[in-house]
Amino acid sequence: MHPRSRRLTIALPILTLALAACGATPAPTGTIGATPSPTPAATDATASDPAVNPSASGAPMSQTNTEWGTIWDGVPAGFPRYPGSTAADDATGEPVSDVYAIPTGDPARIAADLQTAMETATYSTEGLSGPFEDGSYVLDSVGEGGCQIQTRVAPQGSLILVTVLYGADCPAT
């Protein structure tokens, strides 16, 4: 087993217990209209928490080179985030701009809701791909000045893990 897979296998049950202990409630199931639509992070209480969103502290963010390209090590305040999500910084060993977990839901619906939220936040959709073999979806978005963003929505056990790569050509604030 790959070390990263082992860490994820260990981290997911712990994250599930932490979500339960925090009183996180699962997203409603049933009709499409019952799933809450994502709202910009500015309305999410965690968006202004520097522990969850490094750019909220006002400190300049750094950048990291990845196989995908150079990314910011955080997303700006107000960046769209799915409601009811919880920061999951230890859920991946790969460099990402943001990573959070959603207690339950349909990855296809979550990806579509995030696409709508990104478009509302003035990012255009370049493509929404999936489902892939692992059940994940990838949303590629673009903004002004060559700004590229990739959002991956992937089922991980009983959770949905969302990772964001926020390109270095995007504004830091």
- 26: confidence class by pLDDT, cuts 50, 70, 90: very low
How many CA atoms, within 13 angstroms, populate the side-chain half-sphere of residue 149? 32
State the total domains in the chain.
1
Identify the pLDDT of residue 90: 83
Specify if 56 maps to a domain: yes
* 88-to-7, 34, 53, 119, 138 alpha-carbon distances in Å: 13, 25, 11, 24, 18
Q: Is the pLDDT of residue 29 over 60?
A: no
Alpha-carbon gap, residue 111 to 127, rounded angstroms: 11
Let me know if residue 20 belongs to a domain.
yes
CB proximity list for 6: less than 8 A, separation 6 or greater: none
Of 12-26, 56-70, 117-131, the range with the highest mean pLDDT is 117-131
pLDDT-derived band at 145, boundaries 50, 70, 90: confident
In-domain check, residue 173: no
The whole-chain average pLDDT of the chain stands at: 76
**Which has the minimum average pLDDT: 89-93, 101-105, 133-137, 153-157?**
89-93
Inside any domain, residue 63: yes
In the block, residue with structure tokens 């990314």: 71
Q: What is the pLDDT of residues 39-57, one digit of tens each?
A: 333 334 344 444 444 444 4
23: its two tokens: 């009183």
Residue 172 lies in a domain: no
Position of tokens 């349909």? 106
**C-alpha distances in angstroms, 131 versus 23, 64, 78, 109, 155?**
30, 28, 28, 11, 11
Domain that holds residue 118: 3-24+37-166
pLDDT per residue as tens digits for the range 73-127: 999 999 999 999 999 988 888 999 999 999 999 999 999 999 999 999 999 999 9
CA separation, residue 49 to residues 24, 53, 126, 141, 149 (Å):
18, 6, 30, 25, 22
Q: Which two tokens stand for residue 95?
A: 């460099």
Radius of gyration of the chain (CA): 15
